[in-house]
Chains A and B, each alone.
Chain A
C-alpha cells in the first residue's frame, strides 16, 4: 500500500445496505468503500459479542480508509432490532447466535464483495472476541477467504460440556480444513482465550501444516483494541493494527487507495 501523504485525494462512501445472507435471508450490513476505480481488496468484519455497534462501524470505515471494500453484516439481524446493547442482551439470553447462520452470512458477504466491479476478487475476514472465533470458524468451513484474522477469539478450544445447540462443534476440530493463512492477536492476561488454549490451537495448526502467524501481547487482556473500555492497551493496539494491515496487504494484494 502506498503510504498516505497530504496531497492525496481521499474519499469514502459508507452506508447501510441490504444483502442476501444465510439461506438467502435478506439481512442488513454496514458497507464502506474508498472512492476511486479500484480494484480494491475486500474485508468482511464480524462484530463482537457486544453487538453490531458504533465501534464496528468505525472499524469498517478504518478498513475503507486503508483501501479496502469493507462490510460488516449484522449477524444478529434475525433476532430483531433495538439498540446494539439491547440486541446483544437478547442474543446472549437466547443462547447465542447459531454458528450455521454466521458462516452463511459471512460467506454471503464475501460473495457480495467479490461480485463488485471494484473488487480485485481477494477477500479477508476479521473478527474480535466472539467474532474472532467466528472468523476462524468461517475460514475453516468455507473457501471464500484469502486471509483471516482472529483477534482474541474465545471458545475456539471448546470442551464438550460447553458445546450448545447454537455452537455444536468446537472450531479447533475444524483446523484441518482451514483454507487460508491465519493471523492471531492475543493478550497474555486474557482469560478466554487463555495463553494455554492459544498454544493448543497453535499445535493443531502446526500438526496440519497451516500457514499462520500468532502474536501474544504482554500486559494486555481481552479486547485491547477497544479504546472506549478499560481493556484498551495503546501499544498493543497500535502494533496489532500494523501487523494486521501488513498481513492483509501480503495476502490480499492491496494496491492502496485505488492507485
Chain B
C-alpha cells in the first residue's frame, strides 16, 4: 500500500470471477499502483468475498477520468430507477 487511499463498503449482489459467480460482501476502492493497467496510479475497485478467499475478486483498474465517468453513469442510471419502476407495466396482468 503506497498512497494509503482506500475506502471500503459492504455490498450485496453477485460478481463473476475466474471460478464463476460468487456472492459479494464488500467492495474496496483504492487509488494506488495498478497491477495491469499501464498508468502509474489507478482507481482500483475490488469486489470481494473474504470468506471465499483472496481469489474471490472482481477487479477493475481505471484511470481517474474513467472512474469519474463510471461513478456518474452509475448515479445517472440509479436516478432513473424510480421513474422506470413507476412507468413499467404491472407484471400481474
Binding site for B on A (CB under 8 A): 48-51, 79-93, 95-97, 129-130, 154-155, 162, 164, 167, 191-192, 221-223, 229-231
Contacts and interface: CB of A to CB of B under 8 A. Distances in A.
Interface string B7-45: 010000000000000000010101011011011110010
Nearest to A87: B54
Contacts of A85: 35-36, 59
Given A230-B38, A230-B40, A90 B54 contact: yes
Contact of B57 (A86, A129, A130, A229): A86
Contact of B59 (A89, A91, A129, A191): A89
B53 interface: yes
B79 interface: no
Question: Considering residues B1, B8, B39, B40, which has the most beta carbons from chain A within 10 angstroms of its beta carbon?
Answer: B1
Interface of B: 1-4, 6, 8, 26, 28, 30, 32-33, 35-36, 38-41, 44, 46, 48, 50, 53-55, 57, 59
A133 to B, nearest CB: 8
B33 A82 contact: no
A154 B32 CA distance: 12
Contacts of B46: 89, 92-93
Question: Considering residues A83, A90, A92, A130, which has the most beta carbons from chain B within 10 angstroms of its beta carbon?
Answer: A92
Contacts of A50: 33, 35
Contact of B3 (A79, A81, A154): A154
Contacts of A129: 2, 33
